[in-house]
Amino acid sequence: MNPIQIGLMDPAHVSEQLSDEEREAYAMLADELIPAAEGMPAASEVDVHRRWIDQALRLRPDLRLHLKVAIAAVGTGDSPRQVAIGLAKEQPEIFAALGQLTAGAYYMDDRVRDAMGYPGQEARRLVDDTDEYLEMLGRVVERGPVFREIPR
C-alpha cells in the first residue's frame, strides 16, 4: 500500500522537489533518528536534509511519496520524537522508508565515513595471505576427506 492508496496525500500536490519548509521539517525528523552522539554528527550537521536526501531520492524514487507523508506529519503539534514513534507504530511502511532513505543519505557523507573509519568500497591491491592460514589448513588435510564414498 502506498501513501496515495491510504489516502494520506493527494498525488496532484506531490512535487518532485522538497520545499525549504519540507527540508527543515525533515531535518528535525532526521535528527531524531540520527542525532549527534558517540562522536558522530547529527544528520542535519552533514546536510542530509539539504544535499544527500536528494541523492537518496534519485536512487529510490519509489520512496518519495513515503518521505513526503512522513514530513507532512511534522508540524501537527507533536514533537519530532512523537512523530517518529507514531510513524513506527501506525505506519511502519512509511517509517521504514524514512529510515532507509535517511540512513542511506547519511552514509554518503565523507565526514560520516571518515568518523566511522569506512573508506567506501575502495579498490585494494590483492595480497597473498596463504601464509597466515597454511598451518591451520594442514590440520584440515590431515583429518582427511569429508565426502561420503559411494558404494560400487
**Would you tell me which residues interact with another protein (CB under 8 A)?**
32-35, 37-40, 55-56, 59-60, 62, 81, 84-85, 88-89, 99-100, 103-104, 107-108, 116-118, 120-130, 132-133, 136-137, 139-141, 143-151
- In this complex, which beta carbon is closest to another protein, that of residue 21 or of residue 61? 61
Q: How far is the CB of 90 from another protein (least distance, A)?
A: 10
What is the four-CA torsion angle of 30, 107, 18, 23, rounded to 10 degrees? 40
Cβ pair 90, 83 in contact under 8 A: no
Q: How far is the CB of 54 from another protein (least distance, A)?
A: 12
The backbone torsions φ and ψ at residue 40, rounded to the nearest 5 degrees and listed phi first, read -105, 145
- In this complex, which beta carbon is closest to another protein, that of residue 25 or of residue 30? 30
CB atoms within 10 A of CB 31: 18
Q: In whole angstroms, what is the distance from residue 135 CA to residue 141 CA?
A: 10
The backbone torsions φ and ψ at residue 37, rounded to the nearest 5 degrees and listed phi first, read -170, 160
Q: How far is the CB of 31 from another protein (least distance, A)?
A: 10
- In this complex, which beta carbon is closest to another protein, that of residue 13 or of residue 89? 89
With both helix axes pointing from N to C terminus, report the angle between 20-33 and 64-73 in degrees, rounded to the nearest 10. 90
Q: How far is the CB of 105 from another protein (least distance, A)?
A: 8
